[in-house]
């Protein structure tokens, strides 16, 4: 069973290549021997498992203990020399693009939104630029940002190209999202901190971020009403089903579960914007039960509950109006 699970993980990572051919080259065996190992008719040796795990970047723990109490995670360390925001965003883009390509029935995701989801933010230039600037100056403490102030009109070049693609792919993935009255709070506090620290070039930049948040809320409210996410591109309309819930129970973290080909991938946020990912069935089931508990106690805002939907968005706009007065 463990060998079958290992081969399944290899199949996911091999892409368009022939797995038998890859294993033949990697293990120094002929194609027939590779197929026998893939069909679990020949047991893999320890040295072969070691080569496979290193080549495909697979955790050995995830093979021998994938239903146990130990849970393997994948993550990109923010403070490692090779870490880059572009690389981090590229991984997100690839995963969302893959999910979007599966259509409404093939790929989907469920999300608890303690903070404003960056999938949503990336569609609004001033807000997106602020978040990217904030991550690099105030979270990663990059030296080149240490003396800079935020200017909402300053383009971030390649960052904007990749965030635009992420925003588009997000609209192609069916999603169930649980929002809360506190979802905007961290973003508002970040803006307030930059105001009090004199880190805006001028007040206009702060107002532009507020305008983007307002536009985001308007779009979100419309999509909640219709039960579909929609984005108009130069070529066509990207659209997918959308369920939105309001939870009055404080959401302790951002959690995303993506489902692809019957397997669940769970992402749990940490260190501001990074995340841990695991496809351990046991861990994913635990997280899924937690999300379902939250959802069962939440209010469905999409398509129904017109009055409650209006009140929810009114409360968020009240917070935004208060921020504008502070500016």
Same domain, 302 and 188: yes
Going by pLDDT thresholds of 50, 70 and 90, the confidence category of residue 198 is very high
> pLDDT category, 119, cuts 50, 70, 90?
confident
Q: Does 166 fall in a domain? A: yes
Residues 115 and 243 in one domain: yes
Same domain flag for 219 and 300: yes
| pTM of the predicted protein model | 0.80
Q: Are residues 89 and 204 in the same domain?
A: yes
The CA–CA distances, whole Å, from 53 to 1, 65, 287, 322 equal 16, 14, 26, 53
Last residue within a domain, chosen from 12, 30, 64: 64
| CATH number for the domain that contains residue 22 | 1.10.260
Residue 180, domain extent: 85-326
Judged on CB neighbours under 10 Å (0-12, 13-18, 19+), 82 is: exposed
Query: Do both 6 and 124 map to the same domain?
Result: no
Residue 80 lies in a domain: no
66 confidence band (pLDDT: 50, 70, 90): low
Q: Which residues fall within 8 angstroms of residue 308, CB to CB, at 6 or more apart?
A: 246, 299, 301
State the total domains in the chain: 2
Is 223 in contact with 230 (CB distance < 8 Å)?
Answer: yes
How does the average pLDDT of the chain come out, rounded?
Answer: 87
Residues 12 and 110 in one domain: no
Least confident of 54-63, 79-88, 117-126, 198-207: 79-88
55 plus 193 within the same structural domain: no
For residue range 231-261, what is the model confidence (pLDDT) as tens digits? 988 778 888 999 999 998 877 778 888 887 7
Q: Does 304 fall in a domain?
A: yes
Q: Same domain, yes or no, for 32 and 97? A: no
Summarize pLDDT for 22-31 with one digit per residue, the tens.
999 999 999 9
Domain membership of residue 79 (yes or no) is: no
Q: Are residues 103 and 9 in the same domain?
A: no
Confidence band of 297 (pLDDT split at 50, 70, 90): very high
Would residue 78 count as lying in a domain?
no
Same domain, 54 and 164: no
Greatest Cα pair distance in the chain: 72
pLDDT confidence bin for 157, thresholds 50/70/90: confident
- Please check whether residues 38 and 108 belong to one and the same domain: no
In a domain, 242, yes or no: yes
On whether residue 71 sits in a domain, the answer given is no
Q: For 74-96, what is each residue's pLDDT tens digit?
A: 776 666 666 678 888 888 888 88
Same domain, 59 and 207: no
Inside any domain, residue 157 = yes
């Amino acid at each position: 069973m463990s060998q079958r699970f290992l081969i399944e993980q290899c199949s996911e990572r091999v892409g368009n290549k022939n797995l038998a051919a890859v294993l033949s080259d990697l293990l120094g065996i002929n194609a027939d021997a590779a197929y026998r190992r893939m069909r679990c008719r020949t047991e893999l040796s320890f040295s072969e498992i070691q080569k496979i795990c290193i080549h495909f970047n697979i955790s050995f723990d995830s093979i021998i203990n994938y239903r146990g109490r130990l849970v393997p995670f994948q993550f990109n360390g923010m403070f490692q020399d090779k870490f880059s925001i572009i690389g981090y965003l590229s991984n997100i883009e690839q995963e969302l693009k893959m999910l979007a390509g599966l259509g409404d029935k093939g790929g989907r995701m469920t999300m608890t939104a303690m903070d404003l989801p960056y999938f949503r933010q990336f569609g609004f230039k001033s807000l997106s630029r602020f978040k990217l600037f904030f991550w690099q100056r105030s979270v990663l403490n990059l030296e080149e940002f240490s003396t800079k102030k935020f200017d909402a009109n300053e383009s971030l070049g390649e960052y904007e190209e990749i965030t635009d693609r992420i925003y588009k792919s997000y609209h192609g993935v069916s999603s169930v999202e649980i929002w809360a009255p506190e979802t905007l709070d961290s973003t508002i506090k970040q803006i307030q901190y930059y105001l009090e620290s004199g880190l805006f070039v001028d007040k206009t930049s702060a107002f532009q971020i507020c305008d983007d948040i307002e536009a985001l809320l308007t779009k979100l409210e419309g999509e909640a009403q219709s039960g579909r996410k929609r984005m108009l591109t130069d070529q066509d309309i990207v659209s997918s089903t959308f369920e939105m819930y309001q939870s009055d129970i404080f959401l302790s973290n951002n959690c995303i579960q993506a489902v692809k080909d019957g397997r669940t991938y769970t992402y749990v946020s940490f260190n501001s914007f990074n995340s841990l990912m695991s496809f351990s069935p046991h861990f994913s089931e635990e997280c899924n039960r937690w999300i379902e508990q939250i959802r069962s106690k939440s209010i469905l805002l999409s398509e129904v509950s017109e009055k409650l939907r209006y009140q929810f968005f009114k409360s968020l706009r009240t917070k935004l109006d208060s921020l504008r007065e502070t500016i």
